[in-house]
């Protein structure tokens, strides 16, 4: 009895389920054939167009860790999205690559950074910043904001985060 008073989800020893509404899908691009909103990769869901879409936001957030891929699979998928983002006109890309379970840097992070430092992604990537180097008010952060002021809205994804990198495209 007291449990039901303290916790309205408790009913005589049974937990009640709460139905959570699914998050509405956000489309970051426009189809150039039909004008509908669509995803970056794949055909348009409305007209089945295969034409490269147009970005309707400046920044793409890409999570390389989804599905726990191998290093090679993660890099391949990243490169596919990088090419598509560049062609669609995105100005920046926040890449979530993780920092590795050891804390010293996982294989995806190390490979990604080695490719960035080796200029492997030029001309698609014009500049890049590692999350741990970006702190509010420091020189690197101010330089990033000067180049892409709109990315400030996304700073919670990368500020001081060793598991992310910010790429400036173009």
* Domain presence at residue 13: no
Contacts 24+ apart (CB under 8 A), 73-79: 74/108, 75/108, 75/111, 75/112, 75/115, 78/112
* Domain presence at residue 11: no
* Domain presence at residue 128: yes
CB atoms within 10 A of CB 26: 8
CATH number at residue 83: 3.30.1370.110
Q: Which residues pair with 94 in a beta bridge?
A: 61, 166
pTM of this structure: 0.80
* Domain presence at residue 26: no
Tens-binned pLDDT, residue by residue, of the chain (170 aa): 444 444 444 444 544 444 555 555 678 899 999 999 999 999 999 999 999 999 999 999 999 888 888 899 999 999 999 999 999 999 999 999 987 665 555 889 899 999 999 998 999 999 999 999 999 989 999 999 999 999 999 998 898 888 999 999 99
């Amino acid at each position: 009895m007291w449990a039901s008073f303290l916790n309205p989800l408790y009913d005589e020893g049974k937990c009640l389920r709460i139905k959570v509404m699914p998050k509405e899908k956000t489309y970051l691009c426009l189809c150039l054939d039909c004008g509908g909103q669509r995803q970056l990769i794949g055909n348009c869901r409305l007209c089945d167009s295969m034409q490269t879409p147009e970005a309707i936001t400046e920044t793409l957030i890409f999570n390389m860790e989804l599905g726990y891929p191998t290093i090679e699979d993660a890099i391949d998928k990243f490169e596919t999205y990088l090419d598509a983002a560049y062609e669609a006109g995105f100005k920046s890309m926040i890449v979530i690559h993780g920092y590795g379970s050891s804390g010293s840097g996982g294989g995806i992070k190390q490979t990604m950074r080695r490719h960035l430092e080796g200029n492997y992604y030029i001309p698609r990537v014009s500049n890049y910043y590692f999350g741990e180097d970006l702190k509010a008010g420091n020189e690197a952060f101010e330089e990033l904001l000067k180049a892409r002021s709109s990315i400030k809205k996304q700073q919670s994804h990368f500020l001081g985060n060793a598991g992310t990198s910010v790429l400036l495209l173009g």
